[in-house]
Structure 1
Amino acid sequence: MSATSHLYVPGSKPERFHKAEQAVGSGAVIFDLEDAVAPRDKAAARQYVAEHLSRPRPSGPAAPLAWVRLNADERLEADLEAVVGAGLSGVIPAKTCSREELDRLDELLTAAEAERGLARGRTAVAPLIESGLGLANAVDIAHGPRVTTLHLGEIDLAADLGLEPGPDETELLFARSQVVVACSAAGITSPVAPVSANFRDLAGFTASTRALRRLGFFGRACIHPDQIPLVEQVFSPSAEQAREAADILRRLEDAGSGVALDAEGRMIDEAVARQARRVLARRPSTT
């Protein structure tokens, strides 16, 4: 249930829903009921998203995933009641701070799934880390029920920590590495890289996306369709990279000893093979 591009669309803008799904292709649309929606529009947004997800959904490997970002307050239960169904891939609980919150969310999801005749556990969870407390508890959160990956909300996090990110954003390096480590420790998919609010600076967005990929993120959240092809380009290996990765795995298998040499005479072991498998796993689906 992983995707490379994750496009946020305000839940209060139903006229954008179909366009967003077309833009992401086989990626994911995040229908936002939280910060992108004014308080006066929350109820209407919830209804718009619920109605959209209740309609027949595209199927197959090229169909977009549908996620919903939930409110982190008293609205959460109403959000779940409205959106849980066969058309929903998963939920993103905003401002997640503890494992206990996820245990409660699991109970609510289990009840909603049973009520709708859905298999227990079919609705995935991808917590959004947006505070110092959430960051400190990232490993426990990553081990929570149904959790498949983590998202990082850097605007809220910077405000909570009092950070003032500069042009190279090195002030956020610790937080970014923390969520990468947390996902690895929990054995779940590498985290989704955070949004960039400056959607007009596409060159800067591409450069920062490459840096986030090198740091261990997989895919990125977007706020504008123009960012999507750049994310896909950065996280999709070139044909040459795919050939090199496949060659590494062949050489290691042929050696039969756990150690081999690559085409340049450098040592190959299981650690190198793991990186090669990651490269091949990022290839676009051909089905």
Structure 2
Amino acid sequence: MTDTPLTWLYAPGDRPHVVTKALASGADVVIVDLEDAVAPDRKAYARDATAELLSDGPQPAPVPVHVRVNALDGPWGAADLAALAPAPGMAGVRLPKLTRPQDVVGTALRTGDVPLYALLETALGVEHAFAVASCHPALRGIALGEADLRADLGVRDDAGLDWCRSRVIVAARAAGLPPPPQSVHPDTRDLEGLIASCAHGRALGFLGRAAVHPRQLPVIERAYLPTQREIEQAETVVKAAAQQAGAQALADGRFVDAAVVRAARRTLALSRRR
């Protein structure tokens, strides 16, 4: 995996063969899901199967494995953490339906150095976005859970979530966290819709996206990698900055200052994945 994950693939924890396929899918991060993808009568089995997967084995996982546990205020979340916190193969814990910084802090006390990721899926969670994002050094990222958020807000049109998306992107930046990845595009057959949605998300400031099927991974990666034109423009900016200190205008009329140079360097760093 690179330092900048672009693809996060969910796999149901009660289907170990699907998790195995996900690990070989090319995703940057695999998220074993104990929450929405698992029926109530399968929760215990999913937890045990995931604990076995993440226990000491002869080979490390080919990509980082995160686990989305059940909601901390529900009947299964505490048991998930108790079973999985000691697992050496767990690279991250994703906390669904987070609304309070206290829940992050309490989880960090139980999981030690394991990175935590908060999913904000309600109006209250979005309102507390910065407080959650900045509450503990173990928290490494925040993101939206858009299906639940859409239901909580009564939003029918996709554009109705844009304010929440921007709110979370700003909160992550203000807290010094990486840009959030987009929430999943649930229709795995609608690749054209996925392309358009990724383009919109990238314009808002997201970086990468969660997926629910391997066929979505190459679409997401292409959408979030810089184009050849963007790379060439960034190279021009960085070269000009190296030749002359201070703000300046390029031959094509673009004005280059320190902020533009920083953005160009980010583009070039991301382009190294190509």
**Class of the TM-score when normalised by the shorter of the 2 chains:** over 0.9
Does residue 150 (structure 1) correspond to residue 142 (structure 2)? The answer is: yes
- 1:275 & 1:199 partners in 2: Cα distance? 32
* 1:1-287 equivalent positions in 2, closer than 5 A: 2-25=4-27, 27-54=28-55, 55-58=57-60, 63-72=62-71, 73-84=74-85, 85-110=87-112, 121=113, 123-145=114-136, 146-165=138-157, 169-256=158-245, 258-285=246-273
TM-score, normalised relative to structure 2: 0.92
**Share of identical aligned residues, percent?**
37
- 2:60 & 2:271 partners in 1: Cα distance? 22
Deviation at 1:69, TM superposition (A): 0.4
SS in 1 for 2:182: coil
Deviation at 1:53, TM superposition (A): 1.5
Question: Is the Cα–Cα contact under 8 Å of residues 236 and 284 in structure 1 kept in the other structure?
Answer: no
Deviation at 1:106, TM superposition (A): 0.9
Gaps of 5+ in 2: none
- 2:59 & 2:205 partners in 1: Cα distance? 32
TM-score, normalised relative to structure 1: 0.88
- 2:44 & 2:99 partners in 1: Cα distance? 25
Deviation at 1:144, TM superposition (A): 2.4
CA 1:21–1:284 in structure 2 vs 1: closer, same or farther (change >3 Å)? Answer: farther
**CA deviation profile, 1:8-28 (whole Å, cap 9, x unmatched):** 101011011121011134x01
SS in 1 for 2:41: helix
- 2:4 & 2:67 partners in 1: Cα distance? 15
Deviation at 1:56, TM superposition (A): 4.2
CA 1:225–1:132 in structure 2 vs 1: closer, same or farther (change >3 Å)? Answer: same
Q: In structure 2, what residue type is equivalent to 1:155? A: A
CA 1:202–1:223 in structure 2 vs 1: closer, same or farther (change >3 Å)? Answer: same
CA 1:103–1:46 in structure 2 vs 1: closer, same or farther (change >3 Å)? Answer: same
Gaps of 5+ in 1: 111-120
